[in-house]
Amino acid sequence: MGETPWRPEDAPRLDGRVAVVTGANSGIGFQAARLLAHLGAHTVLACRSPERGERALERLRAQTPGAKAELALLDLADLASVRAFAEDPPAERIDILVNNAGVMALPYRTTADGFEMQFGTNHLGHFALTGLLLPRLLAARAPRVVTVSSELHRIGHTRFTVDGGPDRYRRWDAYAGSKLANLLFSGELHRRAEREGGALLSAAAHPGMAGTDLAAAGPSLEGRPRLGSLLAGAAGTIGHSDLGGALPTVRAAVDPDVRGGAYVGPRGFFGLRGAPRFCRPSTAARDHAAAARLWTLSEEATGVVYTWP
């Protein structure tokens, strides 16, 4: 007998808890934030753009009457912004941190700190954010960190570099590498928390293929918005909606059956769509030595060292 499909109706209430979702202005980030708010969590939409963030907050409140939600500005491509967010956090205690924000297959760009944009935003920004928020997380009774990866992590490699330069840049290789880094980080965070003997639970999720604006960003930056719209439409047709793509993240964030190191993704059609289930990441994503090397590189790049009580 197979695993019983998980539904949002199966989720426990989150009244009195605080959830922070990065990149919550659209797509699966917005839907994850909306569902967490619907379950009663005080939900913080951590967004880069104040205009898009305000629109998302208004939309969330309209769709979820009585929701406790607020907007906080956060640019993961700028470590100064990450530090400012952590120095003036929206709450003294954070129960759930969803590392969702990301960019995909962009033309070559660098972050404010000179890192290649996909690795810098998708991995280093979240590594720094989680480390700087660690005291707030450890103040919670049962804190959870959920890091959103992708099945494209399976073609990623562990030759990580903060910036190989434009001549060596391959956008899909960079994206796959950043998503592999997400999983290595999530697993290493779980092992370090376990060694410290605390209650922090680190898990990962992937949305499958969802019809969001993420696929459109790269072509749009190159002046090809029509191609971007076509890619986003195709993703929604082959895969599922942004709501369907958010369910693995939400399950990883709230399901009592989730254990540290878990990886949650869609159960159907080659993992592209369907109800969320527990799945197995690639062998490379389970390489403890590579995860430890990545952790050291990330500390050196960001200047953030995790401090446990």
**First vs last C-alpha separation in the chain:** 44
CA distance 119 to 174: 7
Angle at 34 between CA 15 and CA 264, to 5 degrees: 90
Residue 175 annotated in active site: yes
Decide: helix, strand or coil at residue 177.
helix
Task: Bin 172: left if φ > 0, else alpha if -120 < ψ < 50, else beta.
Answer: alpha
Please state the φ and ψ torsions of residue 58, each to the nearest 5 degrees. Answer: -60, -40
Paired tokens of 250: 């939400």
State pTM to two decimals: 0.91
Please state the φ and ψ torsions of residue 201, each to the nearest 5 degrees. Answer: -115, 125
Q: What is the pLDDT along the chain (309 residues), one digit of tens a residue?
A: 456 789 999 999 999 999 999 999 999 999 999 999 999 999 999 999 999 999 999 999 999 999 999 999 999 999 999 999 999 998 999 999 999 999 999 999 999 999 999 999 999 999 999 999 999 999 999 999 999 999 999 999 999 999 989 999 999 999 999 999 999 999 999 999 999 988 999 999 999 987 556 654 545 555 555 544 545 554 545 566 899 999 999 999 999 999 999 999 998 665 687 899 999 999 999 999 999 999 999 999 999 999 998
Please state the φ and ψ torsions of residue 157, each to the nearest 5 degrees. Answer: -120, 165
* Cα-to-chain-centroid distance, residue 25: 13
**Catalytic residue, candidates 169, 175, 263, 306:** 175
Paired tokens of 41: 């969590």
Nearest partner of 263 among 121, 146, 124, 126, judged by Cα? 146
CB contact at 8 A, 43 and 95: no
CB contact at 8 A, 111 and 163: no
Paired tokens of 37: 């708010």
**For tokens 């993704």, what's the residue?**
265
CA distance 70 to 90: 9
Neighbours of 282 (CB within 10 A): 15
- By DSSP bridging, strand 263-268 and strand 273-278 are antiparallel
Strands (E), 120-225: 144-148, 201-205
Neighbours of 56 (CB within 10 A): 22
